Structure 1
Amino acid sequence: MKFHSLCAGVLACALLLVGCDNSSSTQATPLVLEGKTMGTFWRVSLAGIDAARADDLRKKIQAQLDGDDRLLSTWKNDSALMRFNRSASTQPWPVEEAMSDIVTLSLRIGAKTDGAMDITVGPLVNLWGFGPARQPVKTPDEAQIAAAKAQTGLQHLSVINRAGRQFLQKDLPGLFVDLSTVGEGYAADHLARLMEQEGISRYLVSVGGALASRGTNPQGNPWRVAIQKPTDQENAVQAIVDINGHGISTSGSYRNYYELDGKRLSHVIDPATGRPITHKLVSVTVISPTALEADGWDTGLMVLGPEKAKAVALKEGLAVYVVTKEAEGFSVWMSPPFRTFLVSEKN
């Protein structure tokens, strides 16, 4: 068995910052801070900020992201999410407002994608070797898949708001909630709020494949982001967008996979079949008001496949960029709202 992944997060390098020149002038280049979190990488680019603030900002950023990881991680047994997952209780379980908000949005997107975006798919993710459990040494059989599917389903999870307190409730004791599909988006938005609290109004922040921005870059131009081509070649650009204060996220099947029994298995699991996706859709990029929304939509659309993803994008008025594998090369489709963000496309 051969495993391929640039990082534990999904497509950590699928979106690239562009548009800042390489001048040595401190006024012409952003202050860039970087680090690791959630099994992937974070990056913060700031305009008009004194480099003397770098160490203090870096510490605050890392501390906040470490807190996000302790809240949402399925890789840490003591995280808030894993305490809920390990409990067999079907009574309301108190959670932080942030987790309640994340789950509420995930359930809404799940409903609008006919269950394709399913945060209860954890047992299947683990069965196929993409969760905290070790990778399988052989393909799961029908009985194993059926058993894992029986422990999934958005209908088994509820969010309760009671007198200002937030709760999650499951009606299956073994339900396992996996928020890794939206964790990067939440963390990126959370970083954006931190920048605001620090009095910073010109920034581009990213966690894995999710980004959020505000204001302009050091040249006074909008922050621009490059969408990478679906290849293993670094910095191969498919398109460039001006995200204009929005969030953006890309999901894809071409970098996080492993080979088992002679087959290449994607990390993207279809809740309907209980198996990794096999269709020809290789990447979906979504631009939304928040990175959390973009991160949730790109996962659901990725599961649906090219035609269903396009239909949902049009119905919901989403800004979506789809890349599909063809017999020779790739084809590209974008929704009308996405065109308003497009700066250029590369062939």
Structure 2
Amino acid sequence: MRRVLVPAEISGQPPAATSSLHRFGGASMGTSWSVQLFGAGGRPDPALELGIARQLALVVEQMSHWVPQSDLSRFNSAAPGSWHALPPAFYKVLACAEDVARASGGAFDPGAGALVNLWGFGAHGRFDEAGFRAPTAAAVERVQGRARAHRATLDHAARRLLQPGGVALDLSSIAKGYAVDRVADHLITLGVEHYLVEVGGELRGSGMKPDGQPWWVMLEPIEGEGDGGELALALHGLSIATSGDYRRYFEAGGARHAHTIDPRSGWPIKNGVASVSVVHAECMMADALSTALTVLGPVEGMAYAERAGFAARMLVRDGRQMQEHLSTRMRGMLA
């Protein structure tokens, strides 16, 4: 059975029947990206693709923990007590991340980079490299202790950030979503109304196709989901981001360790959550919220979605099957 998710309102006119579908794509942020849009002319403008690539490159230059000279990497290695002026994009993402951190009770934490590195999901000493070993409980507690004692301070008025010493930021759970928004906003400034932007599986769509159909996307199926799990979404003025434990993980000592770390405990999640998808107007918010709900789990996570009033779908393992949890907002969007 296929279910469909549609926005509350469909507005605007489809592109002209003579419009051409232009496709762009490449690699960035350690993943792939793609853009589809309808525009005039038979051939896409090379300057358009260059402009898209520049938007993605800016996110990497400011927020990548893989690039040693990025603004984020330089902050992470900076001397204790140093203040750092933040570029506008970096500030916007970090401010949003801190808002989600507060609202989720710390289930989402942009300052959890040291924990991510400890568990082998950072840029160095990765779980898939030779010689990696899962950290001991004592090692986790040491890192947690330092994280509790030292927190980065964001000065909103001056848009600067204090490095107290040893704080490692990690914006990988929100930066891809922001990159999608940034590319979409760039297209809007160029007068492009009908597009679908994707970065690493996070998507945002606007407008429609010449035949009046919206941009349809399918949620990635998961083993054990069952026949009722097929879900198609009409991304008309909407974004969707998905977080799951089935993409990156390792096994050690008979235990499965997912890449999603609970900043409150310091350990990979073990709440049975296999996947969380969040639908939101902003892909940056959808990206951060999907991670927060993954950490919070089925009870706290869905309660958070209800309080905040956003559309969320959570799949939780129950033996070999999946239990689906839908927020009220998500149920209302399903037709």
TM superposition score category, shorter chain reference:
0.7 to 0.9
**Which residue number corresponds to residue 69 of structure 1?**
60
Q: Within 5 A, what are the aligned runs for 1:205-220?
A: 205-220=197-212
Q: Within 5 A, what are the aligned runs for 1:72-87?
A: 72-87=63-78
Distance 2:149 2:96 in 1: 12
Q: Within 5 A, what are the aligned runs for 1:36-55?
A: 36-55=27-46
Amino acid at match of 1:307: V
Asked if the contact 1:72–1:79 (Cα under 8 Å) also holds between the matched residues in 2, the reply is yes
**Which residue number corresponds to residue 14 of structure 1?**
none
1:332 corresponds to 2:324: yes
Distance 2:194 2:310 in 1: 25
Aligned match for 1:283, one of 265, 275, 283: 275
Distance 1:28 1:194 in 2: 20
CA offsets per residue over residues 184-203 of structure 1, 9 Å max, x none?
01100000011112211101
**Which residue number corresponds to residue 8 of structure 2?**
none
Asked if the contact 2:22–2:36 (Cα under 8 Å) also holds between the matched residues in 1, the reply is yes
Amino acid at match of 1:308: E
1:59 corresponds to 2:54: no
Quote the RMSD (CA, aligned, Å). 2.3
Note the C-alpha offset of 1:115: 0.2
Amino acid at match of 1:110: A
Aligned match for 1:114, one of 105, 112, 124: 105
Q: Within 5 A, what are the aligned runs for 1:192-211?
A: 192-211=184-203
Asked if the contact 1:258–1:266 (Cα under 8 Å) also holds between the matched residues in 2, the reply is yes
Note the C-alpha offset of 1:259: 2.3
**Which residue number corresponds to residue 140 of structure 1?**
135
Amino acid at match of 2:161: L
User: Which consecutive segments of 4 or more residues in structure 1 shift more than 4 A?
Assistant: 26-29
Distance 2:326 2:183 in 1: 28
1:273 corresponds to 2:268: no
Note the C-alpha offset of 1:49: 4.2
Asked if the contact 1:227–1:239 (Cα under 8 Å) also holds between the matched residues in 2, the reply is yes
Distance 1:335 1:329 in 2: 20
Note the C-alpha offset of 1:121: 0.9
Distance 1:68 1:131 in 2: 17
Asked if the contact 2:224–2:322 (Cα under 8 Å) also holds between the matched residues in 1, the reply is no
Note the C-alpha offset of 1:51: 4.2
Note the C-alpha offset of 1:54: 4.3
Note the C-alpha offset of 1:80: 0.8
Asked if the contact 1:126–1:132 (Cα under 8 Å) also holds between the matched residues in 2, the reply is yes
**Which residue number corresponds to residue 161 of structure 2?**
168
**Which residue number corresponds to residue 12 of structure 2?**
none
Q: 1:296 to 1:325 in 2, by over 3 A?
A: same
1:95 corresponds to 2:75: no
Secondary structure of the corresponding residue to residue 53 of structure 1? coil
Percent pairwise identity: 30
Amino acid at match of 1:167: R
Gaps of 5+ in 1: 1-25
**Which residue number corresponds to residue 294 of structure 1?**
286
Aligned match for 2:95, one of 87, 90, 104: 104
Asked if the contact 1:73–1:82 (Cα under 8 Å) also holds between the matched residues in 2, the reply is yes
CA offsets per residue over residues 73-92 of structure 1, 9 Å max, x none?
00011001111111023243
Distance 2:42 2:106 in 1: 46
Provide the TM-score with structure 1 as the length reference. Answer: 0.84
Provide the TM-score with structure 2 as the length reference. Answer: 0.87
Distance 2:161 2:322 in 1: 42
Amino acid at match of 2:159: Q
Secondary structure of the corresponding residue to residue 47 of structure 1? strand
Bigger shift: 210-219 or 321-330?
A: 210-219
Note the C-alpha offset of 1:285: 0.5
Q: How many residues align?
A: 313
Secondary structure of the corresponding residue to residue 228 of structure 1? coil
Amino acid at match of 2:29: M
Note the C-alpha offset of 1:219: 2.4
Secondary structure of the corresponding residue to residue 305 of structure 1? helix
Asked if the contact 1:120–1:153 (Cα under 8 Å) also holds between the matched residues in 2, the reply is no
CA offsets per residue over residues 216-261 of structure 1, 9 Å max, x none?
124222222211122499xx97311223202211000011112233
**Which residue number corresponds to residue 243 of structure 2?**
251
Q: Within 5 A, what are the aligned runs for 1:8-47?
A: 30-47=21-38
**Which residue number corresponds to residue 296 of structure 2?**
304
Asked if the contact 2:19–2:39 (Cα under 8 Å) also holds between the matched residues in 1, the reply is no
Asked if the contact 1:118–1:153 (Cα under 8 Å) also holds between the matched residues in 2, the reply is no
**Which residue number corresponds to residue 16 of structure 1?**
none
**Which residue number corresponds to residue 230 of structure 1?**
222
